[in-house]
Each structure stands twice: as structure tokens, then as C-alpha cells.
Structure 1
Amino acid sequence: MFARGSWKWVYALPSAVVGLALLAVSSLWGVLALAVSGFVLWFHRDPERTPPHEGVASPADGKVSVIREEDGRVRVGVFMNVTDVHVNRAPLDGTVEAVSHRSGGHRPAFDKESHHNERVRIDCGEFEVVLIAGAFARRIHPYVEAGDELERGDRIGHISFGSRADVLLPREYDRGDVVVEEGEKVAAGETVLARRDGRRVEQPLRVE
């Protein structure tokens, strides 16, 4: 299964067309171009996930890169490597109140200057998810709009070739409720980032 939207073919088709044309001239360059097209489609894969029954689920595949408190709330950010699934998911049940886009730069998402990067903010009242473009990301594709009802684990967007997804936890969560550490590998819609009792449990991690 692939991430929704016809835009993924815009990324994959040019190299596929070039690859087919090059096959008549050079099998090596033709195969390489077709391999690039195949990689682009693989990058936009969208496997099924089984959300947890409680807690705040990770909005992205990748490694936890940010855990900090700001304005009395806790932010947890997940950096997506190029090999990770880039479909983002809802961390909790809720209603989308607003979806806003902010233009910006394309610094590496792990850079401290990445707070100036392009981003899409999905405000669900009690919590927020922020999709942040990185050095190679050029398009953020939100799937939701104001008024949409979400369940934990629902697909909410996709970042093409990028990069980081943050969740701003509900105010009742504090730093002690976070059950992951920076550098820890997590899976979108499955790994629990925080729970109210702060109880850490063994969580299986799939690689897709």
C-alpha cells in the first residue's frame, strides 16, 4: 500500500520514463534510473499499523530527537530517516480544530535552527502535531482538515522526503509521563510515547 495522493507518481514517473528510454542506449544507466523510480515508490509505502489502546502514540516512524518542556507543556519530536515510513499518524483521539501552514527554510530537521523550517500544524485542541520539512523535504501533505474526527493511529499526513514530526502533549501530561528516551526507535501509530502513569512497558518494533 502506498501513501495516498497522485503526487507520488510525479516524483516516480520522470525517472521511470528516463530509465525506459535509457535501456535502449545503456542497460546500466537504464536500470539505475528505474531503480531510482522504484526507490521513490518504496519511500511512499504505507503499511497498516495496530494502534495501542492507551497512551500517546508516536506520530512518526524514526528516532526520538526532541523531548523538552515549553510553556508548561511537553514536546516530543521524532526524526524520520530516509529509510523510515513517512506517513504520519494521530497520537490520540480528538477533533481537528485547525490546520495551518507556515513557510520556511529547509535546514536538517535535527538542526537546532530547524524551528525556522516549513511546517504544517495540526491543532486538535488538547494536543497538537507539527509536521516539519527538512533538508530534502519539499512538500508536506496533510490529509485532514478542521472538523475531522480522529482516532489514535489514523493517518493524518505525509512528508515527501522529510523529516520530523512533533507532538505537543496535552497539558495534564508532564515530563515524568514520557516513556521513551532521545535516540529511541519508534513506530508511527504503534509505539507509546507517553502515558499518564509514566509506566514503561516493553513495546515491539516492526521494521518495514
Structure 2
Amino acid sequence: MPEQAMAETPVEAGSRYGDLVWLAYFALPGKGKRAYRLAVARRIVDGAARWGGDPERRRLRVLRRAMRPSRRMYRGLGPWLRALPVRLPDPAVTAALSRLDAGVRVACVLLRVAGMPRYRVRDDLVRLGVRDPWAVIEAAEVALLPPVERPDPVPDALARSARRPVLPIAVGGVLTAALVGVLVATEGGTLPGGGRPAAAGTPRL
């Protein structure tokens, strides 16, 4: 095959976290820094995973958000920027994909990265609201893209770190603030309710 063909070891379009992250990574529009692109992809997959569903629905949910991501997806990316893979895909691939329409770009990702057959790609495009899916698939098949190596895996540990709940942190902050308030009150010689401590001026826990 000419340079149009991608690697012969496609990423399976299953329910695994890393597979979905790379599908979102390549389906996102624009160029930008690869680290931020991957962070946005991880954020999209984390949001889709919270809704559950079977692997097919999760894949479609991820692709739908990656085709036209909202601006808020690019804000507060700190949790998703931690512990990124050492090696990221060649930026020439995403640069080439960014020149394609959203539907053609997704078709390229499903055909060449996920390795899905044409009839399944057509079904996904229909569910994503892409018009004339067969014409879109044909455009994706002739699109000139540089070869891409199979990306480094995104371990599940990274998924857990990005999806760590914020509630325990918030509760800890409230408890810390309350403790500081008690210590300050004790240091000043008064306790809540107007009482006096046993030894004024000596803070006690």
C-alpha cells in the first residue's frame, strides 16, 4: 500500500480505556500541542465512561464529543495532564487529519486506527448523524495520511488518577478549616459558646 495506509496493527475499538482515548485523540479537530490533545481525549473518555453502557455506545459517545468538543473541555486539564505516555504519535498525522471534514476524519480513525470494516464504519457514521456515509467512507479511503505507529498504551492507572473523586478533598478542606477555627479561638482564650479554656493562650487539639 502507498503512504495512504496506516500501520498494520490497528487499535481495537473496544471498551478498553486506552483504545477509546486514542480514538478520541485522532478524532479531535485542530492541531495544537499533543500533550493537551491527549489530555482532552482522556477527559472525553472519562466523561463518557461515567454514563456506562455497552462498548458500542461508549465508542459512539466518545466519537460524538471528539468530533466537535466544547470549549470547556480545554479548561482545567491539570488532572488529565499527569503521567502522560512517554511517546506520543507523530504530529504530522493529526495535522493531516485536521484538514479533513469531521465526518471524514472520524471515518479515517475508524477505518485506519480502529481497523473496523466498512459496513460497521457506515453504521457508526449514521448513528453520529453524518450524511451520505458511503461517500464519506470513500473520501476517507483515498485521503493522504502519513503512516502512524501504534500509540503507546494509556494504562488504567492513569484513568483512575484522572477520575479520582474530588469529594474527599472537599470534605478534608472543610474539616481543616473547622480545625483551624477551633485552634484560633482557643489561642485567643475563648471557646465556641463563650466558655474559657483550662489554660488560656495554650492551643489544644
More strand by share: 1
TM range (shorter): under 0.3
> Which of structures 1 and 2 has the larger relative contact order (alpha carbons within 8 angstroms, sep 6+)?
2
TM-score (norm 2): 0.25
